[in-house]
Amino acid sequence: MKKIAVYTSGGDAPGMNACIRAAVRAGHYHGLEVYGIIKGYDGMINGNFIELDNRSVTNIIQKGGTILKSARSEQFRTPDGRKKAYDQLRSFGIDGLVAIGGNGTFTGAELFYNEFKMPCVGAPGTIDNDLYGSDFTIGYDTAVNTCLSAIDKIRDTADAHERVFFIEVMGRDTGYIAVRSAIAGGAEMAIIPEDAFNNVGEVINRLQHGTSEAKASHIIIVAEGDEVGRATAIANEVKIALPQLDYKVTILGHVQRGGAPTAADRVLASRLGLAAVEGLIEGRANVMAGIIDHKVVYTPFIDTITKRKPISEDLSCLPEKLNGRKYKV
């Protein structure tokens, strides 16, 4: 293996630049030529490649976003688009790929490998932390801390006005961000897709008990689930049952994707960028590099994109237990 290319795809996540930096410098450490592909699969199709040396990735480890940009590619979903991408890679002499992204990125990489056998090792870059094969994903820790900062500020105004705040956080169809944000932010509960018991009836019950105990304000974290605005729908239902309370909804949105990555995300991204490159050198292909129990592991893309990564029960029930009382609906 002489030449590799690195790209970012799908939703951006804080720490992607740290991962790019690690991949580039690891490649040069092992004597490889390293290219960056601008705008993910679209850039691969259009031949938007740039050579990267160690200086190219100076002073980016602390930056959010991705210097390689990101885009979702409809053309790559077609056989003709993937053939164009392969032809571009061959024209540049690329022997292997480092893909930084999430479920959609690795779905594309899996399909591409099955068709053209281009070796690819992925690094999990998504704030959702929903990829099987790694305890944590790049950007997740930063997103949780961004949410926590917002929750702390909202708690001040909630207490001042004795309000109930529903705070919606990202996470796609998982509740990892919601659960850890709720625990760290001292919220009454987290409503997550994985827990069918966290429903409107339970919210109403907890608020009734809270007001009877003279609790002045309430913070409830809601994972966005299948669509943005879930917190508003839940708040409207609760308001019908308990019209005497003052309700507000805050949807944190894309602020969760931005900002400087935390130390934890920088270290994780650096380890995974190195692991991806060394995986290619070792002859690995069609796998994602991850960290489980502090050790580097490699998981086939097909497992990464099809297997669920459940939230541990002891973690998901923590907000309720720390609320100090078990309620029955």
Catalytic residues: 128
| C-alpha–C-alpha distance, residues 94 and 29, integer Å | 18
Q: Which two tokens stand for residue 264?
A: 């934890």
Residues 6+ apart with CB under 8 A from 105: 9, 10, 40, 99, 122, 125
Instruction: Classify burial at 315, counting beta carbons within 10 Å of its beta carbon; exposed 0-12, middle 13-18, buried 19 or more.
Output: middle
| C-alpha–C-alpha distance, residues 318 and 106, integer Å | 32
Spell out a b/e string for 199-235, using b for 16 or more CB atoms within 10 Å of the CB, else e. Answer: ebebbbebbeebbeeeeebbbbbbbbbeeeebbeebb
Going by DSSP bridges, is the β-strand pair 189-191/164-169 parallel, antiparallel, or unpaired?
unpaired
